[in-house]
Each structure stands twice: as structure tokens, then as C-alpha cells.
Amino acid sequence: MDRFAAVERELRKAAPHLLADVVTAALREHYDVQSTELRLADYGMTTLQVVSEAPIAEPVHVHDSPQGRAFGAQEPYVEPRAAHDPVTAHLPVTVRGDRLGVLTVTMSEGGCTQDDLAEMQQIGEALGHEILVAERDTDLYLLARRATRLTLAAEMQWQLLPGRSVTRPEFSLGAHLEPAYAIFGDNFDWSVSAHHLTLTVSNGMGKGMEAALLTNLVVNALRNARRAGLDLAGQASLADQAVYAEYRGALHAAVLLLRFDLATGEVEAVDAGSPRMWRLRERTVESLGFDAQLPLGMFEETEYVTERLRVEPGDRLLIGSDGVYDSASLAGERYGERALARSLSAHRLLPSEQVPLAVLRDLRSYRGDAPLDDDALVVCMDWFGRQSSSGNGSA
């Protein structure tokens, strides 16, 4: 049995809370590793927190640390060293494009080849899969992601999210919410099948628990309708009825629903409220407007209409909540009027999973000292299109 398979087998047999210990022991046995350290990205995606029952290591910053270099580039990073010093390598821990954290390994001088690094990067991916499974049975990894305490509303919102990024041959997708530890009503959700990507971005009324409960109802109603096989307009209608039945119009939720055909790039859309979308095609940024329809739950039995558009390989789409595009500078200009397009253009070379944080950093600078007074949600998707067997994009 090869070394990678042996380590993967040990991980699969490990108790949920002992994954870090088991991967350390397995790497020592099969790769002559002296020590390891597992860190996960916090909810704000600003620090990497050590995984331990009683953390003894300080967090490190994502943007100015060796661990952060591996996390950002999604490639192994070997620290520079003097002759005869141990080798320290940082390996991304990622699952289908969702960046979880970094596994650091320390080995003796000369004990790390390129083949070793490639195999240990695969072990990092296997570890990421096991972490996601283990989270059903232990809080250890969820606790490691907290740089500070979550509000109850934020706890409920984060538990709804599918992840923070996902990658398929046809697209890559990243999203982020701010303020990460006290979010209110904004949310995103996605589901990928063999033929379609369904993406929803929602913004519920209210704050705190009121907004969290409303958003939970909306997201789960949309999931229920999607899993029942309803089309996009039917999904909106069912969720609309669920919200109205509960709140009788006193509360409602704004939602943008998108369904992408992975083979053709054809997109169905239902715009039921405030989330808005921009497209970067080549070097041109354009706001994509839809016919505004009523938010979910405002009136009884609202009927929704599907619109259509098409994305082309190379397109980048960005969706922002009203907490992004309606945020004002000190001079009173809204971020969505011109600054958001500039930000999207400026970060065109970043991968999609890094764009939401970059746009939100620009938003904070744009607002000056004024704190966010609403959730700020950004979703970014790069569309590659489906490649035919000859290597050319399909129609």
C-alpha cells in the first residue's frame, strides 16, 4: 500500500476529535515528519486559528504570514531556511475549492522532496474532507474558526451556509459576509448537480434573531422547493407562500435566484428584491438589471416570472447586497454608483474566492471611519464554461 493511501486510511478510522493527532502520527511514520500544526480560517477570513482542545498558539494573519501564503495561493509553501535547518512546509487544506485552513509540517533537513510535497498536499485535501464529516459529531473544528464569540443570530446564519467557495470545471464561486460575528439577515446558498448550478442570495428584514429566523425560513423553503423538483419561479412562489403564512406580510425577504445550465451557460433568473448583479466581461463592468418583482412574503400568492440571460467563458459575475451597493462615502455617494465597478475591475486578476474579501476591504476604505450599519454580502463567480472533448468550449 502506498504512503498516501496508508495515511488516508488512518484518517478514515480516526475519532472525529483526533484527526490532527492521527495525521501527525501517520505523517511521522510514513514521511519522517517531526511535527505538525493544523490551523483553520476564522469566520472573518482574517486569521488562521490553531486547532486544539486548549489552544496554546496565537492566531496568525492570513495576509502576512507563511501559513497565509499557502492559504491564499492554494499551493504548498516552503519557508526559506539556513543550511542544516529543519524544513517547514505549509499545505492548503481545501475541499472542492472551499478553503478551510493550512496544515504545517516540519521535517528534517533534506527530508522533503517535490513528490513528498505533492503527496502531502493530497493528504491535506483528505484531511479537509474528514473535517467536514467530523463536524457532525464534534464542535472542535467549529470552535477553532472563532476569533471571538458569535452572536446567536450569526450562529444560526453560519450554520445555513453551504461553504465559502466551491470549484467545478465549469465555474468557481466564492462568497463572504460581514460583519462576520454579528450578521443579521443576509445569506447565500448554492447547489450543484450534473447539469445545473442553483445560486440564491437573500436579504431578510429586521435584525438579530428576528432576521435570523426569517432567513432560516426562506433558505429552507427554497431548498425544499428545489429538492421537490420545482422550477425557479415555482421555488420563489413556494418560499413566498411559506413566509406569508408565517408573517402575514409583516416581514418579507428580498431574494435573487439564479439557475445556470452548466453545458450552455444559459441562466434563468428571478429577481425578488434587493440583491443586485454586475458582470465583468473582458474589461467592461456592467450592471445587469432584471424586472424587479415583489420580495418573498409581502403579499399572498405572488406569481413570479423567470427571465433569461447567457454567460460566456471568461465572464465574472458579482452579486452584492444592499449593505454593499447602498453604503455611502463621507461625501454621500453610494458605493454601487461607481466605486464598486472600479473595485471589481481592480481585482480582476484575483481568483473568485478572494474577490469578495477584496471588495469588502475596498468598501471599508470607501466608508472611512463609519462602521457598517447593515450586513454586507458579496458573491463572486467566474464562468469557464464546459469544455468539449476536443478542448473547445461547447455551444
Question: 3-state SS of the chain?
Answer: CCHHHHHHHHHHHCCHHHHHHHHHHHHHHHHCEEEEEEEEECCCCCEEEECCCCCCCCCEECCCCHHHHHHHHCCCEECCCCCCCCEEEEEEEEECCEEEEEEEEEECCCCCCHHHHHHHHHHHHHHHHHHHHHCCCCCHHHHHCCCCCCCHHHHHHHHHCCCCEEEECCEEEEEEEECCCCCCCEEEEEEECCCEEEEEEEEECCCHHHHHHHHHHHHHHHHHHHHCCCCHHHHHHHHHHHHHHHHCCCCCEEEEEEEEECCCCEEEEEEECCCEEEEEECCEEEEECCCCCCCECCCCCCCCCCEEEECCCCCEEEEECHHHHCCECCCCCECCCCHHHHHHHHCCCCCHHHHHHHHHHHHHHHHCCCCCCCCEEEEEEEECCCECCCCCECC
Separation of alpha carbons 296 and 240, rounded Å: 4
Contact status, residue 288 vs residue 309, Cβ threshold 8 Å: yes
Q: Give me 338's grid cell.
A: 461607481
Q: Which triple of cell numbers denotes residue 379?
A: 458573491
Per-residue confidence (pLDDT) for residue 55, from 0 to 100: 66
CB-based contacts of 216: which residues, under 8 Å, 6+ apart?
Answer: 156, 160
Nearest to 36 by CA among 90, 105, 125: 105
Residues 367, 395: contact at Cβ < 8 Å?
no
Give the CB-side neighbour count of residue 37, counting CA atoms within 13 A: 18
Side chain identity at 186, as an amino acid letter?
A: D
C-alpha span between 129 and 123 (Å, rounded): 10
Q: Would you state the pLDDT for residue 395?
A: 34
Q: Count Cβ atoms below 10 Å from residue 33 Cβ, excluding itself.
A: 23
φ/ψ (deg, to 5) at 289:
-95, 145
Residue 114 has φ and ψ, to the nearest 5°, of -60, -35
Supply the Cα-derived Rg of the chain in whole angstroms: 22
Pick from 248, 96, 67, 111: which is nearest to 172 by CA?
96
Q: Are 320 and 377 contacting, i.e. CB atoms less than 8 angstroms apart? A: yes
Strands 171-178 and 316-320: unpaired
With a cut of 70, list the residues of the chain below it in pLDDT: 1, 55, 110-111, 388-395
| Torsions phi, psi for 81 (to 5 deg) | -150, 160
What was the pLDDT predicted at 84?
Answer: 79
CA atoms within 13 A on the CB side of 349: 2
Task: Give CA–CA dist 179/320, Å, rounded.
Answer: 14
Cα–Cα distance measured from residue 50 to residue 199, given in angstroms and rounded to the nearest whole number? 32
Give the other-Cβ count within 10 Å of 124's Cβ. 24
Which triple of cell numbers denotes residue 165? 467557495
Biggest alpha carbon–alpha carbon distance for the chain: 73
